[in-house]
Amino acid sequence: MATLTTEKTAAPGGHEPPDTGARHKLTAVTGLAALSLDAMASVAYGPEAIVLVLAAAGGYGLGFTLPVTLAIAGLLAVLVASYRQVIAAFPDGGGSYAVAKAHLGRRTSLVAAGSLVLDYVLNVAVAVTAGVAALTSAFPGLYGDRLWICLAVLVLITGVNLRGIVDSARAFLVPTAVFVGAILVMIAVGLFRDAPVSTVAADGHASVLAADATTVGALLLLKAFASGCSALTGVEAIANAVPSFRAPAARRAMRAEVALGVLLGAMLIGLSVLISRFGLQPVEGVTVLAQLADASLGHHTAFYVVQFATMVLLALSANTSFGGLPVLLKLLARDNHVPHVFGLKADRQVHRHGVVWLAVVSAALLVFSGGDTNTLVPLFAIGVFVGFTIAQTGMVLHWRRERGPRWAGRAVLNGLGAVLTGVLAV
């Protein structure tokens, strides 16, 4: 049985185990794998969310897919720059909770903490159900057992994380690299195609495209933008778990944040270019990403590699929550907002009680939803953008009070982020 110790920050008189040292901490690369799986995997449903909204205006509406994606990429750049500032200013982690606690008061900090907890829990449920949905799309015979498959995947991920976040990070490096590589290859090959090489994946499936509209209203474009911003989930996870990195932790975390932004932005823009290039239309029962893989790579081995890599990464993207939520619960325990048991660490530097609690609540959501992603997604954005807005607003006050070098420019950047994410939250 693992021996539990209380962190110094969690309870008076506690002592860290003489332990393992930096071996159980993250580098920039392993941190990217452990904490950014959610954001990376979101390219599987972010572009699709845009297309499904714009499809209400027919083919004319789909012509706005790329402009909407470019706007989302711009917001991504603002958020990455903003969260680099959060990491530097709050190296103890906690993200929007830590910012709100320091500058917006206790009540706002608890709202931020609540939104983060909601985001983390829903991320696990959404990621697992979406990953299993990719599997059942490839093998329809498994559809009736999707809930049991979801629960089995959750048990597997929980077990891996109980061994320690760094161990799980190393385990997830290969799937992350395969997924990102597969998507980038698909984009590169597709850019050299004049037309789809295959439409087998969509054949026989009903189109959900409406009749062509003569105009596309601002509200529809705003809805498409907000829906597509589901691809930005997970951008804050690195800032929430800075203490999990090796020293200098803040510098390594900032590097991981930039790498995340570059990779995610490149994939989102590339996929949207292909959607426009191939004139893709959304159909029932087949994901947009599957259609793109079919059109770019053909309906053979490469197609299934993309599908399998997507399925695996979506399932494993739940690891973002298992890395970030226990650290947040530790901070809440230190501030007496949750039981102090969440401040305990096992001998592998694991906040075991936080990991187990997250798994139990996520399992309940899986059972509630019946393993259906669409039941959970509407709740997902609430926690995400509330947390974004609170963090950016708090950072504006932080720079006003600190008034260090170039504080005005930094405050403007965070203020812009607060306005944009606040509109999306509403």
What residues pair up with 344 in beta bridges, in sequence order?
Answer: 6
Helices 319-334 and 165-191, packing angle to 10 deg: 140
Split the chain (426 residues) into runs of 10 and give each run's mean pLDDT. Answer: 37 43 72 81 86 86 92 92 85 74 80 80 86 76 85 88 65 84 95 88 74 78 85 81 83 91 95 92 82 90 89 79 74 71 53 81 91 74 78 85 79 85 75
pLDDT value for 115 = 80
Amino acid in position 154: L
31, 190 contact by CB (below 8 A)? no
Residue-level pLDDT at 73: 94
The answer to whether the bond into 47 is cis (omega within 30° of 0) is: no
**What whole-number distance in Å separates Cα of residue 402 and Cα of residue 399?**
5
d(CA 243, CA 71): 32
**Phi (first) and psi of residue 128, to 5 degrees:** -65, -45
- Residue 182's φ and ψ, nearest 5 degrees, are -65, -45
At 170, the amino acid letter reads R
Query: Which residues are CB-neighbours of 294 under 8 A, at least 6 positions away?
Result: 196, 198, 199, 200, 201, 202, 303
Q: What pLDDT was estimated at residue 282?
A: 85
pLDDT at position 378: 67
Domain 23-425 in this protein, CATH class: mainly alpha
Please, which residues bridge with residue 207 across strands? Answer: 283
Helix (H), strand (E), coil (C) string for the chain: CCCCEECCCCCCCCCCCCCCHHHHCECHHHHHHHHCHHHHHHHHCHHHHHHHHHHHHHHHHHCCHHHHHHHHHHHHHHHHHHHHHHHHHCCCCCCHHHHHHHHCCHHHHHHHHHHHHHHHHHHHHHHHHHHHHHHHHHCHHHHHHHHHHHHHHHHHHHHHHHCCHHHHHHHHHHHHHHHHHHHHHHHHHHHCCCCCCCCCCCCCCCECCCCCCCCCCHHHHHHHHHHHHHHHCCCCHHHHCHHHECCCHHHHHHHHHHHHHHHHHHHHHHHHHHHHHHCCCCECCECHHHHHHHHHHCCCHHHHHHHHHHHHHHHHCCHHHHHHHHHHHHHHHHCCCCCHHHHEECCCCCCHHHHHHHHHHHHHHHHHHCCCHHHHHHHHHHHHHHHHHHHHHHHHHHHHHHCCCCHHHHHHHHHHHHHHHHHHHC
Give the span between the Cα atoms of 426 and 420, in whole angstroms.
10
Diameter of the chain by CA atoms? 70
The CA-based dihedral angle spanning residues 366, 371, 377, 382, taken in that order and rounded to the nearest 10 degrees: -10
What pLDDT score does 309 carry? 92
Is this model's pTM higher than 0.85 or not?
Answer: no
Amino acid letter, 394:
G
Q: How far is CA 26 from CA 49, 235, 249, 250, in A?
A: 33, 17, 9, 11
Residue 16 is predicted with a pLDDT of 44
Token duo for residue 89: 């200013």
Q: Given the structure tokens 């690369």, which residue do they identify?
A: 29
Query: By C-alpha distance, which of 201, 256, 234 is closest to 87?
Result: 256
